[in-house]
């Protein structure tokens, strides 16, 4: 019997002050909860999402057996983050296109759709909005806040912004800030979207068009950076598109490409290699559902996150505010958020004599690994949450 | 007194058969020569270019002191490839937009500009065309053929296709083929160009427009892959655009970014970080002069090059045809054509008992290093060419 998820929405009238100096009012946050909040309200775990995800973290919707949440392998009954023990909250961030108030919604100040006028939001703003949601749910302190990638930045930010409300922070495949190369990839993706003639300065909804060309390019770039060189070579290598037809055919295999067969077509625009087919497919799919303004907002929030900035560039000084205990996890082939970036956080925490567990998982899958089934990774998280549960029971 | 370069053009009437099965006729190759061909015509060195370069390899044009050739630090009187000793030939490849017959020229079969109908050309085709140029210049055998990146692929291809015509092959920052990630980056760049509404299926000349949006994105992606993570962090880091204004100002420095100053603007579309400014500038500049059809052709030639393909994937078998001696050079931080790819070539040559020198230069600059002044790199090449010159004198 699978976990059944129910999407909910919490409205907020009072203005939320934003890092940019403006504020947003009359907004709503979409969220889901799994498991049961215990009597002393001490078993809540908040899950923060990354670029292309939402509050639908675990389980499936009634009657939709293929609607698994994006971290369903991690969270659920008997899973590493066990919803039989923890009350898990998934929340969709402001500016998203998956339920919470975002660019496609109406700006109460103008009566028109926000579009490009949606305020620029930061990781700090998201965490503040999440804190108000917890207030509304009557949760004073989290057993843990957890996220991967951009979600890991939110978990780290929670430990800085609301130190007394976080007992544990679980920061997976993340970084204390983006480096120049990360920002560069974000910028190219944004330029592809913004310079698409169908973007119309971010007010494309009124034109009845979508800047799909730009979204496709953005997603293709993203996919290249999510995968490791190794896994790309293993999955696609230099296989020609004929290899695709072999899938499922006798002698073909889903995972082991057949040796390169067939002749080159000698075309600059047709698909020649399987990797091209894969990227075009991913780009097309993404452009069908993701909002262009949301893409700009979320990548900018990534760019801006930099807790050391207010402390003269010292991460150690920034993390002196934390009170939580930490689990950090990184993956050896992740070149988007390399293990070295996680180690910077670990070192800065150790310099502050904080309790830190750190696992560097030797996985081939690159940044994507944080969403995949790797037994060592899942076991590290499971063991950590078992310890949290034991603490709760002992307290 | 600087070396003065003279651009020349060699016309060819006879059809050149192409790997695609078609042919090209009535074409011309632009080329330059430096130094003097010796009496026994044994001191010729051919230089092959990469994506964004031409036959203008060394020296300057009369009265244009800032028109240095793209490898002017490597080639010239007294330089590592010494034009006082060697007769050096720079040649522009078919399909280029810098002089040789390309998509902007008229197709003799139709009387119309080629545009997207320019035949798909391969590294093999380029080498065949270069061989005809050498025939026309009366050069039977090269003392050396040399190139970096895609140029290195041409040097390697020469040693396979015309083994008896190459005494030495110098292959810098190259690879025996592109891997999936390389192809992926090329494909994203091509899609950005092809889906630009101003591309018009490659026949944009007649429309009086240029697909600049696509070219900008392509170049931005290229620049990210040419630079190492390290050099990006050193040159740009997370510096805000204010840092740009500091350049040249008292206390400012061209190379060491000042600490991050100023406030975030909180904008998704304005330039916020210096790396964004750099990439946009590079993209704008490139889109002013580079031809979109040429970009497609050259990246496709890169994708297709794979000498092991005709030998069941065995590079060792492919390189059994070679007779030349080799110098290979790679750069530690080059993630586009990583040292491991050069080592594949070295190993396959050693397995064939060929004479190979190999230098792996510990340079911070990524793929770009092959064009830069690194004393160790330049000295390796200098020493190698001094040996070639000594052989010639002894012969």
Q: How does pLDDT run across B7-32, given as a tens digit for each residue?
A: 999 999 999 999 999 999 999 999 99
Say if B183 is an interface residue toward chain A (CB within 8 Å). Answer: yes
As a dihedral over the C-alpha atoms of residue A97, residue A100, residue A102, residue A104, rounded to 10 degrees, the angle is: 60
Determine which of B266, B284, B309 to mutate to test the interface with A (most A C-beta atoms within 10 Å): B266
What pLDDT does A2 receive? 84
Tokens (6 digits) for A159:
């430990």
Which chain B residues in 359-378 lie under 8 Å from chain A, judged by CB atoms?
A: none
Q: Give me the percent of chain A exceeding a pLDDT of 90.
A: 92
Q: Where are the beta strands (DSSP E) in chain A?
A: 4-5, 8-12, 16-17, 23-24, 27-34, 44-48, 60-61, 75-76, 81-82, 87-91, 144-148, 168-172, 325-331, 356-361
| pLDDT value, residue A393 | 65
Across chain A, what does the average pLDDT equal? 94
Question: For residues A291 and A97, is the Cβ–Cβ distance under 8 A?
Answer: yes
pLDDT for residue A198: 98
Location of structure tokens 């008992």: B353
pLDDT, position A162: 98
Query: Quick check: A356 and A349 in contact, CB under 8 A?
Result: yes
Q: Chain-wide mean pLDDT for chain B?
A: 94
What is the per-residue pLDDT across A37-88, written as a single tens digit (0 to 9) for each? 999 999 999 999 999 999 999 999 999 999 999 999 999 999 999 999 999 9
| Listed residue (A87, A174, A163) closest to A325, CA to CA | A163
> Does residue A18 surpass a pLDDT of 90?
yes
pLDDT tens digit string along B197-248?
999 999 999 999 999 999 999 999 999 999 999 999 999 999 998 654 333 3
pTM, 2 dp: 0.94
Is the pLDDT reported for residue A250 higher than 50?
Answer: no
**Residue-wise pLDDT tens digits, B180-197:** 999 999 999 999 999 999
Q: What is the mean pLDDT of residues A211-234?
A: 96
Across the interface, which of B119, B220, B273 has its CB nearest the CB of A191? B220
What pLDDT does residue A241 have? 86
B135 part of contact set with chain A, CB < 8 Å: no
Residue A314 bears catalytic tag: no
A392 confidence band (pLDDT: 50, 70, 90) = confident
Residues of chain B with C-beta less than 8 angstroms from the C-beta of A180: 229, 232-233, 235-238, 273, 275
Give me the mean pLDDT over the A5-15 stretch: 98
pLDDT value, residue A177: 98
pLDDT for res B85:
97
Share of chain A above pLDDT 70, in %: 94
ipTM of the complex: 0.93
Tell whether the model's pLDDT for residue B261 goes beyond 80.
no
Q: What is the pLDDT of residues B268-309, one digit of tens each?
A: 999 999 999 999 999 999 999 999 999 999 999 999 999 999
| B252 pLDDT more than 50 | no
Question: How far is B13 from A106, CA to CA, in rounded Å?
Answer: 66
Cβ neighbour number for residue B314 with a 10 Å cutoff = 15
Tell me the nearest-neighbour CA distance from A190 into chain B, angstroms: 8
């Amino acid at each position: 019997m699978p976990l059944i998820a129910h999407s909910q929405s919490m409205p907020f009238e009072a203005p939320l002050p934003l890092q940019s100096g403006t504020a947003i009012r009359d907004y709503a946050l979409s969220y889901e909860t799994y498991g049961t909040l215990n009597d002393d309200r001490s078993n809540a775990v908040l899950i923060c999402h990354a670029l292309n995800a939402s509050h639908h973290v675990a389980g499936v919707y009634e009657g939709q057996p293929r609607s698994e949440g994006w971290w369903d392998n991690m969270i659920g009954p008997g899973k590493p983050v066990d919803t039989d023990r923890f009350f898990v909250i998934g929340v969709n961030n402001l500016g998203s296109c998956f339920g919470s108030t975002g660019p496609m919604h109406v700006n109460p100040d103008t009566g028109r759709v926000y579009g490009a006028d949606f305020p620029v939001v930061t990781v700090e703003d998201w965490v503040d909005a999440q804190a108000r949601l917890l207030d509304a749910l009557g949760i004073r302190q989290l057993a843990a806040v957890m996220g991967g990638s951009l979600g890991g930045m939110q978990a780290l930010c929670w430990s800085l912004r609301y130190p007394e409300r976080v007992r544990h922070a679980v920061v997976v495949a993340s970084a204390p800030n983006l480096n120049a190369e990360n920002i560069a990839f974000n910028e190219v993706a944004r330029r592809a979207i913004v310079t698409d003639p169908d973007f119309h300065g971010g007010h494309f909804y009124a034109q009845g068009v979508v800047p799909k060309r730009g979204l496709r390019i953005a997603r293709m770039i993203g996919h290249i950076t999510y995968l490791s060189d190794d896994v790309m070579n293993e999955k696609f290598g230099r296989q020609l598109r004929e290899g695709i037809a072999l899938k499922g055919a006798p002698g073909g295999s889903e995972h082991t490409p057949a040796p390169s067969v067939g002749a080159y077509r000698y075309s600059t625009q047709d698909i020649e290699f399987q990797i091209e087919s894969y990227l075009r497919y991913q780009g097309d799919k993404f452009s069908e559902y993701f909002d262009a303004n949301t893409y700009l907002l979320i990548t900018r929030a990534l760019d801006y996150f930099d807790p050391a900035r207010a402390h003269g560039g010292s991460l150690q000084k920034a993390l002196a505010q934390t009170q939580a205990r930490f689990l950090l996890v990184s993956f050896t082939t992740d070149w988007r958020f390399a293990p070295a970036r996680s180690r910077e956080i670990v070192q800065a925490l150790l310099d502050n004599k904080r309790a830190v567990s750190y696992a560097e998982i030797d996985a081939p899958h690159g940044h994507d690994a944080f969403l995949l089934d790797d037994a060592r990774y899942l076991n590290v998280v499971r063991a950590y949450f078992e310890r949290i549960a034991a603490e709760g029971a002992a307290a």
